Amino acid sequence: MVGWRKWSWVGPAFVMLLAGCPAAPVVEPTATPTPAVRPGGPLVKSVGVDGDQPGFSVMTGVGKYDGFDAELVQWLTGQNNWNAKPFVVASKDREKVIQEDVDGETIVISTYSITDKRREVVGMAGPYLKTQQGVLVRAGDKRIRSTDDLQPRSVCTVAGTTSEEQLGQQGVTRLTLLDGFQQCVDLLKAGQVDAVSTDLLILHGFVNAEAGAVEVVPDLFFGKSEEYGIGFKHGDTAMCKLLTASIKEFIRSNTWRTYYASHHFPPELEDNSRPNPDYLDPC
């Protein structure tokens, strides 16, 4: 908040009695504006996001994004009075952009699953959303109904994701690895791969965006629960505590459910997708 400008006027009659001359306004110094960042709190200047994931984060213009993660970025920025700028980061580069910011002022919010391996090199606060892995096929394609059906098929996913690891555990060997899921979906629609596999909520985002061209295989999900967290500089306890407190408030408020509904994720998955705010990962 900018400080009030205070003007003090000395009464003309009183001044004339003292000095025999017309009164002049006396201006007090303007108060110093309140800093944009909370004093002593961790500062965030940039946020890595996805640019091609419908439902989570899609670039809609220069510096503009739409989706659950994109709105979470805006919410966090407002809650903590950050002047943070979003930028697109590839999944395989998420740890890199965090580590390269020696000041620790870069965080990543990009359907970023919390794993022990990642925690060895970056901090992770959360989770703020949960899901499991599923499969996307062309509309009307009934050939894939189980994980066994995936093994002889060509499957696309994104390099550097937990989806890549879990497909390997399912015995999928004909794997196409790309930089973004939109690229995978484009190959699927063109008939160049048989399926795309990643987190169910990401796949439902593409179903909503692709106007009937693709569909999620019903009742097919596998692997461990994917828990999305916010990546930050390894060992930054103050940042961890701030992000964790913010996530807890975000989930407890109606904002979480509002964002979930507004991006048309399946209502039947909502309760399982919402983490318990009282059991977030400790710092």
The domains of the chain are located at 1-30, 46-130+226-279, 132-223
Looking at residue 40, what is its pLDDT? 53
DSSP letter assigned to residue 4 = P
If you average pLDDT over residues 31-36, what whole number do you get? 33
Is 7 a residue whose pLDDT tops 70? no
The phi and psi torsions of 244 (rounded to 5 degrees) equal -65, -45
Looking at residue 30, what is its pLDDT? 33
**Residue with token string 């359907």:** 111
C-alpha span between 158 and 150 (Å, rounded): 16
Range in 3-7, 49-53, 95-99 the model is least confident about: 3-7
**Residue with token string 């400790």:** 282
C-alpha span between 144 and 153 (Å, rounded): 9
**CATH 3.40.190.10 for the 46-130+226-279 domain, yes or no:** yes
> Predicted confidence band at 41 (pLDDT cuts at 50, 70, 90)?
confident
Strands 85-88 and 46-49: parallel
SS3 20: coil
Among 182, 151, 188, 187, residue whose Cα is nearest residue 169 = 151
Is 39 a residue whose pLDDT tops 80? no
Domain range 132-223, CATH class: alpha beta
The kind and range of the H/E element at 110 are: strand 106-113
C-alpha pair distances (Å), 125 with each of 163, 229, 244: 20, 5, 6
